[in-house]
């Protein structure tokens, strides 16, 4: 299945090892449908409908079922932190279907993160700055 990632699963970030052995398909962005918030060290994307929606920047991966189980565990699907939805993304060849983890908890004081997480590399510890 195709998975769109937008946070710590991206190349160079702390949870990227969960994608080990999977196929990187390219950088991508969602169609304008979502808003992204900083949830305290990780991002959460919510479905905004037409209420201030924009395109989220991230990466598109082809993953197998074993990888999906690992990432479902990481994203705490069973406790309701995230849920998986199908969405449209564009990796340079026009819109295509992919899956995305949607944040399901209350945002509280979550700060709007814009279309890219993190907003700035200055917000990351040096060990998490992607260099590729």
User: Across 31-132, where does the E strand assignment appear?
Assistant: 34-38, 43-47, 57-62, 82-90, 95-103, 111-112
Q: Give pairs for 48-57: CB < 8 Å, separation 24+.
A: 54/115, 55/29, 55/30, 55/31, 55/115, 56/6, 56/29, 56/30, 56/115, 56/116, 57/6, 57/27, 57/28, 57/29, 57/115, 57/116
User: 86 an active-site residue?
Assistant: no
Q: Which of 23, 27, 59, 75 is catalytic?
A: 75
Alpha carbons within 13 angstroms on the beta-carbon side of residue 43 total: 31
Residues with catalytic roles: 75
């Amino acid at each position: 299945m195709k998975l769109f990632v937008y946070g710590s699963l991206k190349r160079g970030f702390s949870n990227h090892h969960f994608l080990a052995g999977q196929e990187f398909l390219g950088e991508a962005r969602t169609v304008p449908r979502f808003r992204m918030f900083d949830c305290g060290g990780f991002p959460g994307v919510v479905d905004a409908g037409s209420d201030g929606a924009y395109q989220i920047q991230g990466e598109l991966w082809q993953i197998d079922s074993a990888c999906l189980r690992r990432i479902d565990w990481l994203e705490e699907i069973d406790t309701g932190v995230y849920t998986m939805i199908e969405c449209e993304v564009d990796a340079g060849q026009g819109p295509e279907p992919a899956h995305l983890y949607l944040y399901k908890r209350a945002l509280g004081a979550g700060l709007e993160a814009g279309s890219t997480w993190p907003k700035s590399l200055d917000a990351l510890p040096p060990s998490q700055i992607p260099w590729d």
